């Protein structure tokens, strides 16, 4: 039955065209944005997961920056310790020279004084962003190492801690303590502050050499500790970078569009749109055909 009031064919064709246009719009958005899930209405579950993980990835980026800052502090401290080891080695050589008969110890002391001053200068200069790990009164310093999302969505920041004290700082913030500032076996002396002269006996020199060897051993241990911590920070930095890449990949699997598939859908939907328009045109023309029945 054909009716001039109700055109069921046109309504069906129009509904088909609407559906095709809606799907075409979604596909065009996916092609232009590269996202299969661009908003919550596309897929609420995937959108929620992706949004949370994107936020976590930003936190990991901040952790990576913090690790870089920690690595810079460690590099600064290690450089100071390495330089101090060389200077104390020079002081050791001067003390060995002082053991020779007829050597003018006062002249050697002039050189030692300059080396001692350089030791403290090196320790004072080993500061990065206001933190000095080798000229420090002690305490604990921390390097941010990871951002963790635990069970139930609980988040936390993990740190790598390093304790400073008399055995792993060159000075205690002054010249009275630490590896180089502590009093040695020779009464009232230290690696930083001892003096030798004409009255210095061979026994005094031997005691000072013992102090120097002790200091060198402690500095070597300190250098090893800093080196181990550097390695740990480097490993953690590499891990954070890899983890961030993995999260990016995981997010992509949830929300990224398959461009080959979307391209094929786009071509098919464009063809369907053309056919739907033609079908609607044909359906609308049926009403016009009724007029021919009333022409004389």
The band of 120, judged by pLDDT with boundaries at 50, 70 and 90, is very high
Measured distance CA(150)–CA(128) in Å, rounded: 33
Top-ranked range on mean pLDDT: pick from 13-17, 159-163, 219-223, 260-264: 219-223
Express each pLDDT in 8-26 by its tens digit: 788 888 888 898 888 888 7
The band of 188, judged by pLDDT with boundaries at 50, 70 and 90, is very low
Q: What is the CATH number of domain 44-255?
A: 1.20.1330.10
If one compares 179 and 138, the residue with the highest pLDDT of the two is: 179
- Flag whether pLDDT at 161 surpasses 60: yes
Measured distance CA(124)–CA(80) in Å, rounded: 9
- Flag whether pLDDT at 182 surpasses 90: no
Token readout for 143 is: 């390097």
Per-residue pLDDT, averaged over 131-143, amounts to 89
- Smallest CA-to-CA distance from 105 within 97, 113, 116 is with 97
The band of 295, judged by pLDDT with boundaries at 50, 70 and 90, is low
If one compares 145 and 292, the residue with the highest pLDDT of the two is: 145
Per-residue pLDDT, averaged over 109-134, amounts to 93
Token readout for 133 is: 């790990």
Percent of the chain residues past pLDDT 70, beyond the cut:
93
Express each pLDDT in 233-283 by its tens digit: 898 889 889 989 999 999 998 988 878 887 888 888 888 888 888 888 887
For residue 285, CA distances in Å to 8, 9, 189, 277 come to: 13, 10, 111, 12
For residue 135, CA distances in Å to 120, 161, 202 come to: 9, 18, 32
Measured distance CA(121)–CA(209) in Å, rounded: 22
Predicted confidence at residue 190, as pLDDT, reads 82
Return mean pLDDT, the chain.
Answer: 86
Predicted confidence at residue 184, as pLDDT, reads 47
Predicted confidence at residue 20, as pLDDT, reads 87
- Flag whether pLDDT at 87 surpasses 80: yes
Percent of the chain residues past pLDDT 90, beyond the cut:
35
């Amino acid at each position: 039955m054909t009716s001039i009031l109700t055109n069921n064919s046109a309504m069906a064709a129009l509904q088909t065209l609407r559906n095709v246009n809606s799907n075409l719009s979604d596909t065009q958005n996916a092609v232009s944005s590269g996202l299969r899930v661009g908003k919550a209405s596309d897929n609420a579950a995937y959108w929620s997961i992706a949004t949370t993980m994107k936020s976590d990835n930003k936190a990991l980026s901040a952790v990576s920056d913090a690790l870089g800052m920690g690595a810079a502090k460690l590099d600064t401290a290690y450089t100071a310790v390495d330089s101090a080891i060389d200077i104390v080695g020079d002081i050791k050589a001067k003390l060995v020279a002082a053991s020779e008969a007829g050597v003018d110890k006062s002249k050697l002391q002039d050189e030692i004084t300059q080396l001692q001053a350089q030791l403290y200068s090196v320790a004072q200069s080993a500061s990065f962003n206001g933190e000095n790990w080798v000229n420090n009164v002690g305490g604990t310093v921390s390097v941010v190492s990871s951002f963790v999302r635990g069970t139930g969505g609980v988040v936390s920041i993990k740190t790598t801690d390093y304790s400073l004290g008399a055995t792993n700082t060159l000075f205690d913030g002054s010249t009275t303590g630490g590896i180089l500032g502590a009093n040695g076996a020779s009464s009232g002396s230290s690696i930083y502050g001892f003096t030798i002269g004409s009255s210095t006996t061979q026994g005094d020199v031997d005691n000072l050499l013992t102090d120097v060897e002790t200091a060198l051993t402690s500095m070597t241990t300190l250098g090893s500790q800093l080196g181990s911590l550097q390695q740990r920070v480097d490993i953690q930095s590499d891990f954070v970078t890899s983890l961030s890449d993995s999260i990016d990949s995981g997010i992509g699997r949830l929300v990224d569009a398959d461009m080959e598939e979307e391209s094929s859908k786009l071509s098919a939907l464009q063809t369907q749109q053309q056919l739907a328009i033609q079908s609607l045109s044909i359906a609308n023309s049926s009403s016009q055909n009724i007029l021919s029945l009333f022409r004389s």
